[in-house]
Amino acid sequence: MKKKLILLALITGPFWAPAQPVKTLKLEECYEKARLNYPLYKQSALLAQATQVQLDRIRAERLPQISWNAQASLQTETVEFPFDLPIPGTGLDLPLYRFQTTADLQYAIYDGGMTEARSKLELASLAAGQQQVVVELDKLKAQANQYIFGILLLREKAAIQENARETLEDKIKTLEAAVRHGVALEGDADKLRVEVLRLQSETEQARGDIRGLVASLGSLIGEPLPEEIGFELPEEMETAAGGPIQRPELQLFAYQKEHILAREDMIAAAWRPKVGAFVQAGLGAPNPLNFFDESLSPFAMGGVKFSWNFIDWKQAARDRQLLSLNSQLIDNQRAAFEAGINRMDGKYREDVATLQTLIARDEEIARLQERILRQVSAQLDQGVATSTDYVTQSNALQQAQLNRQLHELQLLRARIDYLTLKGAL
């Protein structure tokens, strides 16, 4: 999709020339380091661990459930017949106390697919949660772009000011010679010296701002950066408006929809019949299965149980209707998101066309301003122009050069921001 990276010119000027080779940072590398350094990055692994624990819990619930129970009671009366039993030796004299301890085992033979449905829902929730983390991390790209282009713009400004200062210092030397020969006034040289000091102050301010942005960028990516750090930016890329959207939000919408639709299996499983087995064994006095046996006796019982809530008064239908409505809400959110990004296509086309026109005009203005400055410089040497005229024209040339560099950086940033918006970077 993209032709590979071209090193953007760092900045000209003597104070930007380090003794050691300049360290460079690729834009994609900057994005990746910012992502890895962001605290939220670890949340994806934590979500996966939490989901695994929940899946283990769900699977454990399908295992046989064993419990130990005990109960003792004392009552004021027991069962008495209002007549004598006609069978000799069958008198019933139940004790007033009861004691029973049992081990109970229950096992769901068939749970209607509820376990599988719950597991599927947990996995769908994990996918949506992890993709939400990806979406949040993707926002770091805009911060990185802001820092990088802020640094580049300030460097351009500082370099232009440095070149202007050097030109003024050369002109001061010329005027000093003219002052010694009595063909120029000392005040003309002083005016240029004032302008040199002003440029030095502005350059120092720009350097301080650059150091601040470099520190902020270093904090974003989690490593210290030298002030003279260079950047490799994708310059020649397919940036025509109307390209496909590759943003992580689209996958998030898909996962959110899958999470909603995964509840359909829960609804179906809740309606299906359930079959389970149970076993109970223990000791009781009297024997709970034979009340003629008043001694502490063992007993056991087992069986199968069946349940089916086949009439739910249309609750399942209502639940499915809610799922359908929630799914439509996700579709609408996705459509709105895509429409918002696609609306930027027209703005991007207009911005690029405008900046290209401005750059061509800036180049012509800078060329004319440079020619005028040469004329004013010659007139100043001849005593026809004043130092104020020279400073004014020098500032005009600086502004023209700065405007050209500004618009070139704005054009490059517009392309990179557009690719970031579309998810191509």
Tokens 């249309």, residue?
Answer: 314
pTM for the model: 0.79
How many other C-beta atoms are found inside a 10 Å radius of the C-beta of residue 323? 17
Q: What are phi and psi of 238, to 5 degrees?
A: -75, 105
Partners of 188 in beta bridges: none
Exposure b/e, 328-360, CB count within 10 A at least 16 = b? eebeeebeebeeebeeebeebeebbeebeebbe
**Integer angstrom CA distances of residue 13 from 10, 82, 156, 399:** 10, 117, 10, 17
Distance from C-alpha of 208 to C-alpha of 155, rounded to nearest angstrom: 11
Q: What are phi and psi of 26, to 5 degrees?
A: -75, 150
**Integer angstrom CA distances of residue 182 from 199, 364, 391, 419:** 28, 38, 21, 62
Distance from C-alpha of 289 to C-alpha of 297, rounded to nearest angstrom: 10
Of 323, 143, 141, 152, which Cα lies nearest the Cα of 248? 141
* The pLDDT of residue 1: 37
Quick one: three-class SS letters along 62-115? CCCEEEEEEEEEECCCCCCCCCCCCCCCCCCCCCCEEEEEEEEEEEEEECCCHH
Distance from C-alpha of 225 to C-alpha of 229, rounded to nearest angstrom: 7
Per-residue pLDDT tens digits of the chain, which is 425 residues long: 333 333 343 333 333 344 455 688 999 999 999 999 999 999 999 999 999 999 999 999 889 999 999 999 988 877 666 666 565 555 566 788 888 999 999 999 999 899 999 999 999 999 999 999 999 999 999 999 999 999 998 998 888 888 888 888 887 887 777 777 776 677 878 888 888 898 899 899 999 999 999 999 999 999 999 988 999 877 656 566 667 888 999 999 999 999 998 999 999 998 899 999 999 999 998 888 887 788 889 999 999 999 998 888 888 899 999 999 999 999 999 999 999 988 888 888 888 899 999 999 999 999 998 899 888 888 877 777 877 888 888 888 888 888 888 898 888 888 888 888 888 88
**Integer angstrom CA distances of residue 165 from 360, 393, 398, 414:** 26, 13, 10, 31
Superfamily of domain 6-14+21-64+109-279+314-422: Outer membrane efflux proteins (OEP) (1.20.1600.10)
In the chain, where are the structural domains located?
6-14+21-64+109-279+314-422
Decide: helix, strand or coil at residue 285.
strand
Partners of 237 in beta bridges: 2
